Amino acid sequence: MVRCGIVGASGYSGAELMRLLAPREDVALEVVSAATSAGKRVDEVYPSLAGVVDLTFGEFNPSQFDGLDVVFIALPSGEGMKVVPELLERVGHVIDLGGDFRLQDMKLYEEYYGHRHSAAALLPSAVYGLPELNAEKIASAQLIANPGCYPTSAILPLAPLLKTGAISPDGIVITSMSGVSGAGRSASVEMSFVEVNENIRAYKPGRHQHIPEIAFVLSGVAGKNVSLSFVPHLVPLTRGIYTTIHARLAGAFTRDEMLRICSGFYADAPFVRVRQSIPQIKDVVMTNFCDFTLVVEERTQQVIVTSTIDNLIKGAAGQAIQNMNIVTGLPETTGLLRKEAHYV
């Protein structure tokens, strides 16, 4: 039995963690904290979890997590670093869904996230939790930095192409579209229905905090510096990420050859599906899959990749549970190969 807790459980990622963990007979979800909802029952905030999660949100108290096997941190970036040091000496493993431990370079973190890192001493020990690339290190990690949702959608299709030298590491262009749940549950005018509906807008072009994360991970895969641009867009969907990538071919590769490279690279990866057809968000919503395909544009000698994930599952809670399964010695797919009703 894996004993778990969640810090920041009342947000969308926290709720997704509860939805996926609570039905499991091999997991005991024991503590859920959420400052904004402290004192409220889980089913009061999320009626869809009535009869599923019989817990009350509490204020964060590190002693309540003593002895748990895994604690998930589902807090905004800048908040996780405040609680992780207190938890590491009390629990078996910490999986942080925020961005505080994804970058090894403190100065780079502070440049892109805009605030000082108060737990920089822990950065060297944090393991980047993308299971398809890092399962061996994840298995022995105490602190796991769950990848960002946008980076997951970009890194997975690009990794095999860079690893094999099929594409140039320079001038990669990544354009992504995300549903509104990616912005979190806090209310704001710009995320209101009237502002988002029948609208689309880019945000943080050239300075988004996921740029160094994507570049750092892909540079490690390629064994050389990878340069890229990344522009995210907000679209009027509840959940899902759709990513389109342009990269230059580094040789005379056909589409079939490149698809074989990707399929071979992910032959043992249960949650990556290399497709012949162009993927759609509806193919992956409410699942932990990443679907992608590519085409070769001979006229410009470019490869065009399209990938899609559910930002709350493979981009957050599902990937975190995938990491939990690995670090606790369970089959990677445990509790993640089922579809359930939409609740947000």
pLDDT of amino acid 189: 63
Identify whether residues 203 and 263 lie together within a single domain: yes
Identify whether residues 158 and 303 lie together within a single domain: yes
Catalytic residue among 4, 149, 262, 290: 149
Identify whether residues 161 and 295 lie together within a single domain: yes
Evaluate whether residue 6 is within a structural domain: yes
Pairing between strand 228-234 and 201-202? antiparallel
3-state SS assignment for residue 107: helix
Evaluate whether residue 338 is within a structural domain: no
Identify whether residues 305 and 320 lie together within a single domain: no
CA separation for the pair 336, 340 (Å, rounded): 10
Name the H helices within the chain. Answer: 12-21, 42-45, 80-88, 106-113, 131-139, 149-163, 193-196, 210-222, 255-265, 317-327
Q: Are 145 and 128 in contact (CB under 8 A)?
A: yes
Long-range (24+ apart) CB contacts under 8 A made by 281-284 are 281/237, 281/240, 281/241, 281/242, 281/308, 281/310, 283/308, 284/240, 284/308, 284/309, 284/310, 284/314
Q: Give the list of residues 6+ apart from residue 267 with CB closer than 8 angstroms, or none.
A: none
Residue 52 dihedral angles phi and psi, to the nearest 5°: -110, -45
Identify whether residues 202 and 132 lie together within a single domain: no
Residue 296 dihedral angles phi and psi, to the nearest 5°: -105, 125
CA separation for the pair 257, 294 (Å, rounded): 11
Identify whether residues 114 and 194 lie together within a single domain: no
CA separation for the pair 295, 301 (Å, rounded): 11
Q: Are 302 and 285 in contact (CB under 8 A)?
A: no
Q: What burial class does residue 274 get, using C-beta atoms within 10 Å of its C-beta: 0-12 exposed, 13-18 middle, 19+ buried?
A: buried
Residue 125 dihedral angles phi and psi, to the nearest 5°: -90, -10
pTM for the model: 0.94
131 in the Ramachandran plot: left (φ > 0), alpha (ψ -120 to 50) or beta? Answer: alpha
149 is catalytic: yes
Identify whether residues 141 and 154 lie together within a single domain: no
Identify whether residues 141 and 225 lie together within a single domain: no
Evaluate whether residue 336 is within a structural domain: no
pLDDT of amino acid 55: 96
Evaluate whether residue 337 is within a structural domain: no
Q: Are 315 and 151 in contact (CB under 8 A)?
A: no
pLDDT of amino acid 340: 45
Evaluate whether residue 321 is within a structural domain: yes
Evaluate whether residue 136 is within a structural domain: yes
CA separation for the pair 302, 298 (Å, rounded): 7
CA separation for the pair 94, 337 (Å, rounded): 23
Evaluate whether residue 253 is within a structural domain: yes
Evaluate whether residue 135 is within a structural domain: yes
Identify whether residues 22 and 103 lie together within a single domain: yes
Burial per residue of 225-255, b for 16 or more beta-carbon CB atoms within 10 angstroms, e otherwise: ebebebbbebbebebbbbbebbbebbeebee
**Any idea what the CATH number is for the domain that residue 45 is in?**
3.40.50.720
The domain total for the chain is 2
**Any idea what the CATH number is for the domain that residue 293 is in?**
3.30.360.10
Identify whether residues 27 and 96 lie together within a single domain: yes
DSSP state at residue 337: S
Identify whether residues 169 and 294 lie together within a single domain: yes
Identify whether residues 95 and 182 lie together within a single domain: no
* Domain encompassing residue 73: 2-146+316-327
Q: Are 245 and 297 in contact (CB under 8 A)?
A: no
**Per-residue tens of pLDDT for the chain, all 344 residues:** 999 999 999 999 999 999 999 999 999 999 999 988 999 999 999 999 999 999 999 999 999 999 999 999 999 999 999 999 999 999 999 999 999 999 988 888 899 898 899 999 999 999 999 999 999 999 999 999 999 999 999 999 999 999 999 999 999 999 999 988 876 666 566 767 777 788 889 988 888 889 999 999 999 999 999 999 999 999 999 899 999 999 999 998 999 999 999 999 999 999 999 999 999 999 999 999 999 999 999 899 999 999 999 999 999 999 999 999 999 999 999 999 864 433 33
